[in-house]
Structure 1
């Protein structure tokens, strides 16, 4: 039986990516799309690359009838989802792509996002959406909080060796490069072509990036002790993709073994042969993650390289993977498209 979904915030990059992925899904139909500033428009007027699809007209959230809708994707801005989701029907399954329900501790949310959590009771039922590590909890959940795209890349790099005690949890440096679509679709001066192209720049330096809250939460849980990584993200003049270079103390062979054991049966995680490194080109537009491990010339030092597409596996692809589980569908449905190359 076909499942019906709504996408709130369909005029943003993650909303459009959800529509693109759902175009090839045989068991889900899009029943409603929302966009506040672009309400009343056809989706083709906002994203012409989707004009071949028969889609509902964009509407305001209050205009949507959720009767008969099985699941709602919330692709709204941070700090907006809490209020909106609190007002949705209690029997509606929800996958939230914002940061509003990622941090289990409301005090941690207030620290990283600068405001009190407005739906702490709902936070208690939210399941963190890193599929490969919370699969059974997601399957039974009503509300799933999608991870940050930077956070997902770092966690795929670090969770297996931390759980296997193959690296020193006190010596982790995470150097991450992210395409500009990770900053969203809103107009910002520093994202203009003339401001961004031909240049690379670090941002949110010195421990200011909000995804550190997710790293603290998930890495500390995996290691069984407090873990505080040194993390510097960089904005690069590319549209899609994240590359994480993670510098650790540990033996590469042990790290590679931990990665292989953890991801052996995962449909979207590929561990490359020892010494090989991945490229964002090789996962573009897909739900795949490639991981490489390299032994450094100094003994007991290694580098982990991980790539994913920030809009797909880092956000909308992950959201659909989780929705499949929540709806009782095959987890990989609609997500088996090969990456786009070149």
Structure 2
């Protein structure tokens, strides 16, 4: 059975990644591509690397006949996304890649994103899209909110450890490096080649990064009490990938065993042998997550490192994994591409 798919926001990095993955999907067919700023152009004109695909030209989202669409991916900026999604027919399933429906409390959204939420009824309906931990709810959902890429990486490390009460909840430090594509495709001075290459920098230091809202929400719910981690992201001079390093108080063997048990049946999460650490090179262009555990030289302290591709497993690949569940097809369909190396 073939399912008809639309993408709103098809001219951004996550839109292009969705198209790349959907191009070889066995049962999804792209019927409409919307990018209001580039409406009327061919996909090949916007993304020459996809010019070999026979796909419809870009249109405005208002031009799409949603009666003919089974599922829509929405890859728009926050605030814009909720405005568009609230106008879509109730018959269409939606996977949102923005931040608009990740936080369950409207006040949390106001706190982290600076404005009131304009679709609170849909906010209540949305299911958080971290597939491995919300699989059953995602399968039944009409609206799924994709996670932040940084938030996903940190949660793959920390959720099993918090859930099993294996680490000191008041002593969690997460240090993360993200490739420049995580900042989106729009022009920004600090992302110019001369400003970014041959260097790196920390940003949103001291607890201002918006993905902390997701960490607070998810970790506190798991622990049954408030959990606030220290988190510092860094912008790296590479195109795609996230490498996250967590420093926790606990026992290394117990941490490794918990991660192995949590992900033993997961097709996309690989836990490495004790002492090995992952590289972004090893997951580039794929939907895989690699996690490594190392005992610190000081007893009772553990270092856990995770790598994923921010555009794939951190965003578009996760979105497709969720869409597969929502439409009742094999969860891994279209996603078993091997990483691209070197």
TM-score with structure 1 setting the length: 1.00
Within-5 A mapping of 1:72-111:
72-111=72-111
Per-residue CA shift, 1:282-311, capped at 9, x if unaligned?
A: 000000000001000111000010000000
Aligned-partner SS, 1:330: coil
CA distance in 1, matches of 2:55, 2:188: 29
Within-5 A mapping of 1:191-206:
191-206=191-206
Where do 5+ consecutive residues of structure 1 fail to align? Answer: none
Within-5 A mapping of 1:261-340:
261-340=261-340
CA distance in 2, matches of 1:221, 1:154: 15
Is 2:35 the counterpart of 1:51? no
In angstroms, what is the RMSD of aligned CA positions?
Answer: 0.5
Runs of 4+ residues deviating >4 angstroms: none
Within-5 A mapping of 1:23-42:
23-42=23-42
Identify the residue that residue 8 of structure 2 maps to in structure 1: 8
CA distance in 2, matches of 1:246, 1:283: 19
Aligned-partner SS, 2:254: helix
CA distance in 1, matches of 2:216, 2:319: 22
Q: CA deviation at 1:174?
A: 0.3
Q: CA deviation at 1:67?
A: 1.4
Per-residue CA shift, 1:93-128, capped at 9, x if unaligned?
A: 000000000000000000000000000011111000
User: How many residues were matched structurally?
Assistant: 342
TM-score with structure 2 setting the length: 1.00
Aligned-partner SS, 1:253: helix
Q: CA deviation at 1:322?
A: 0.1
Within-5 A mapping of 1:223-242:
223-242=223-242
Identify the residue that residue 18 of structure 1 maps to in structure 2: 18
Per-residue CA shift, 1:204-228, capped at 9, x if unaligned?
A: 1110100000000011112222110
CA distance in 2, matches of 1:175, 1:223: 21
Identify the residue that residue 164 of structure 1 maps to in structure 2: 164
Aligned-partner SS, 2:37: coil
Within-5 A mapping of 1:123-202:
123-202=123-202
CA distance in 2, matches of 1:334, 1:209: 32
CA distance in 2, matches of 1:142, 1:197: 41
Per-residue CA shift, 1:208-252, capped at 9, x if unaligned?
A: 100000000011112222110000000000000000000000001
